[in-house]
Amino acid sequence: MRLQQTTVALALFALLAGCGRSHVVHEASRGNRVPAGERPIKVSEPKYGATVAVQRGQNVYRIATENGLTALDLAIWNDIGPPYTIYPGQRLRLYPGGQTGVAVKPAAPVSKQSASIPTSAQPARPATPSVVVPSASNVAWRWPADGTVVASFANGDPTRQGVDIAGSSGQPVRAASDGVVVYSGSGLVGYGELVIVKHNEQWLSAYGHNRARLVNEGQVVKAGQQIAEMGRSGASRDMLHFEIRYNGKPVDPQQYLPRR
């Protein structure tokens, strides 16, 4: 199932449930929610081409932790929507793909027979494909909140996949561009009360650590519209954690946001 299909399903569900203003709501059932209070035990690069089979008793956060990934990455890369239910035997990929337009395959293994061939006679091993991040975006971005950037993006660091903007409790958090809300919940550990907006087939933005969420899944939002109230859910201070993702890959928001 592709992210677009997941988005449609989420939108239909939200439309049936009503798209009124709401505050913090914990939608996921206790059995399917990601356990709170845990943190990744190791960090690794995405394993291009690798997959893992779900075992009985596992959930999204546990599989992400065991493979050095974040739960948000694993959910996005596999088009897993709330309440993040997975099943024994289901196979999940441990790398970004799907909408990249690039066939991501592991490097061809060297057989025992070819290992004895002189290096000069061996064919070159294909390079591992990666998601190409554009230097410019077709989305008109704006800053989602007023305040000072207290933590910047660091490529490859799962704890710094966006920017942290310091502010005060209850301060408005606004949509960074026009789009559709594809997630509004608290089921992903480390993000607190989280809102994710899809802007087009390639671009998403995420808004974490909110005190209250003011939009529902499937709701259309406009640039500058308030979608949440700043808080410290899952954080040690009042701030907004803001991410921009291209085809599921986190990119540096300050590369695309207007200069202050």
Instruction: Output the average pLDDT for the chain.
Output: 75
> Distance between CA 216 and CA 123 in Å, rounded?
53
> Distance between CA 222 and CA 204 in Å, rounded?
14
Name the band, by pLDDT with cuts 50, 70 and 90, for residue 87: confident
Query: Phi then psi for 3, rounded to 5 degrees?
Result: -60, -35
Comparing C-alpha atoms, which of 241, 239, 238, 176 is closest to residue 208?
241
- Say whether pLDDT at 110 is over 50: no
**CB of 95 within 8 A of CB of 51?**
no
Architecture of domain 3-21+28-93: Roll (3.10)
Q: In this predicted structure, what is the pLDDT of residue 97?
A: 67
Higher pLDDT, 157 or 82: 157
Mean pLDDT on 125-135: 59
Give the domain ranges of the chain: 3-21+28-93, 149-255
Higher pLDDT, 24 or 144: 144
Q: Which CATH superfamily is domain 149-255 in?
A: Glucose Permease (Domain IIA) (2.70.70.10)
HEC readout, the chain = CCHHHHHHHHHHHHHHHCCCCCCCCCCCCCCCCCCCCCCCCCCCCCCCCCEEECCCCCCHHHHHHHCCCCHHHHHHHCCCCCCCCCCCCCEEECCCCCCCCCCCCCCCCCCCCHHHCCHHHCCCCCCCCCCCCCCCCCCCCCCCCCCCEEECCCCCCCCCCCEEEECCCCCEEECCCCEEEEEEECCCCCCCEEEEEECCCCEEEEEEEEEEECCCCCCEECCCCEEEEEECCCCCCCEEEEEEEECCEEECHHHCCCCC
Residue linked to tokens 């909110």: 210
Least confident of 28-37, 140-149, 185-194, 204-213: 28-37
Mean pLDDT on 241-253: 95
- Tens digits of per-residue pLDDT, 26-78? 333 333 343 333 333 344 567 778 899 999 888 888 898 888 888 888 888 88
Mean pLDDT on 112-116: 35
- Say whether pLDDT at 180 is over 90: yes
What lies within 8 Å, CB to CB, of 42 at 6+ separation is: 68
Q: In this predicted structure, what is the pLDDT of residue 22?
A: 36
Mean pLDDT on 14-32: 36
- Say whether pLDDT at 100 is over 70: no
- Tens digits of per-residue pLDDT, 161-174? 999 999 999 999 99
Residue type, 15: L
> Distance between CA 246 and CA 227 in Å, rounded?
21
Cis bond upstream, residue 126 (ω within 30): no
Q: In this predicted structure, what is the pLDDT of residue 39?
A: 39
- Say whether pLDDT at 260 is over 50: yes
Let me know if the fold of 3-21+28-93 is the same as that of 149-255.
no
- Say whether pLDDT at 10 is over 50: no
Higher pLDDT, 26 or 151: 151
Mean pLDDT on 173-190: 93
What percent of the chain has a predicted confidence (pLDDT) above 70? 69
pTM: 0.60
- Say whether pLDDT at 105 is over 70: no
